[in-house]
Amino acid sequence: MTEQLHELIDLLDLEQVEVNLFRGHSPDDNWQRVFGGQVIGQALVAASRTVEDVVCHSLHAYFLRPGDPNVPIVYEVDRARDGKSFKSRRVTAIQHGKQIFNLAASFQSAEDGLAHQVEMPHVPPPEDLQPERERRLELAAKLPEEVRNIFTRKRPVEIRHVQPIDLLAPAKTEPVQQVWFKASEAGMPEDLGIHQCVLAYMSDMTLLDTCLRPHGVNYLNPKAQIASLDHAMWFHRPFRADDWMLYTQSSPASSGGRGLNFGHVFTRDGTLVCSMSQEGLIRLHD
């Protein structure tokens, strides 16, 4: 397991400070706010620590305030309902005495039933695509020194874009994209719940970018104000987050300073394992 992936697993391993109360920390990476995928993943870990013999099938989350990476995040779990087949949990993330995030998650015991899925699109395999970090290293010399190290640092997730864009001068394109991604190395624990939490972390890495593509804007634009507002996931089938998965993304609309995005995650054999949606704040300032 790479050092970066080990750090991600540690990041998701919350400290239990009381019944239904957990504490998480942020990495020391000089970001001004906490990465949204981190909060989703940690909140799902907190909820999962209060259930047994069930697996998360859906979650719905709202980002309320920017997270402060310099102080711990307290996660308070409300055991909303324990039924025979389903268990529901609500999680509130707190910093400086205020809610910064809340999540509702539903868990289900294993069950057979009717099954169908959409087909995975035909795209080049990840081995034929350039790693994201290589692309970033090629651009590093053109960036201000104060952001260069953050931009090129090794990450716990490996990403390869099917339709890469010029990060420094993005052209206007269709509001769709596909990326292959996975945890940076095999060797994660077998527990499906951990793989779900890692995928929750990963799912926030590119989805919001989709609604920016038709406007020729991205997160490096100094005039852009970009932030996640909400995030939802539906888990369909088991998977491993340390195997390559195809993340297909589309944006049907943006308006009112917000952009809506949808995503589907497929394993290499074409099995649909997760679907998600996200609305984000997208403002351009003069």
CB burial of residue 133 (10 Å; 0-12, 13-18, 19+): middle
Band of residue 112 on the pLDDT scale cut at 50, 70, 90: very high
Closest residue by Cα to residue 265 from 205, 179, 191? 179
Average pLDDT value for residue range 88-113: 97
| pLDDT tens by residue, 155-168 | 889 999 999 998 88
Per-residue model confidence (pLDDT) at position 235:
98
- Dist. CA 146–CA 148, nearest whole Å: 6
Per-residue model confidence (pLDDT) at position 94:
98
| pLDDT tens by residue, 183-210 | 988 778 999 999 999 999 999 999 999 9
Which amino acid is residue 250, in one-letter code? S
Ranges of each domain in the chain: 3-110+126-284
Buried b (16+ CB within 10 A) or exposed e, 149-186: eeeeeebbbbbbbbeebebeebeeeebebbbbbbbbee
Band of residue 267 on the pLDDT scale cut at 50, 70, 90: very high
**Which residues face 96 on adjacent strands?**
none
256-263: which pairs have CB atoms within 8 A and are 24 or more residues apart?
257/281, 257/282, 257/283, 258/229, 258/282, 259/208, 259/210, 259/211, 259/212, 260/211, 261/207, 261/208, 261/210, 261/211, 263/203, 263/207, 263/210
Q: Quote the mean pLDDT of the chain.
A: 93
Per-residue model confidence (pLDDT) at position 213:
96
- Dist. CA 56–CA 188, nearest whole Å: 18
- Residue keyed to tokens 């990495």: 27
3-state secondary structure 49-87: CCCCCCEEEEEEEEECCCCCCCCCEEEEEEEEEECCCEE
Q: Is the pLDDT of residue 30 over 70?
A: no
What is the chain's alpha carbon radius of gyration, rounded to the nearest angstrom? 18
The residue from 42, 106, 184, 204 that is catalytic is 204
Closest residue by Cα to residue 18 from 56, 37, 60, 46? 46
Taking the model in full, what pTM does it have? 0.94
Which amino acid is residue 168, in one-letter code? L
| pLDDT tens by residue, 19-28 | 999 999 998 7
Per-residue model confidence (pLDDT) at position 146:
67
Average pLDDT value for residue range 222-228: 92
Per-residue model confidence (pLDDT) at position 148:
76
Average pLDDT value for residue range 88-104: 98
Band of residue 6 on the pLDDT scale cut at 50, 70, 90: confident
Give the CATH fold of the 3-110+126-284 domain: Porin (2.40.160)
Average pLDDT value for residue range 132-136: 88
The residue from 42, 228, 254, 275 that is catalytic is 228
Band of residue 135 on the pLDDT scale cut at 50, 70, 90: confident
- Residue keyed to tokens 């899925």: 117
Q: Is the dihedral of CA 5, 280, 92, 86 positive or negative?
A: negative
Average pLDDT value for residue range 115-144: 91
Q: Is the pLDDT of residue 152 over 80?
A: no
Active site residue 204: yes
Q: Which two tokens stand for residue 45?
A: 């870990």
Per-residue model confidence (pLDDT) at position 140:
80
Length of the chain: 286
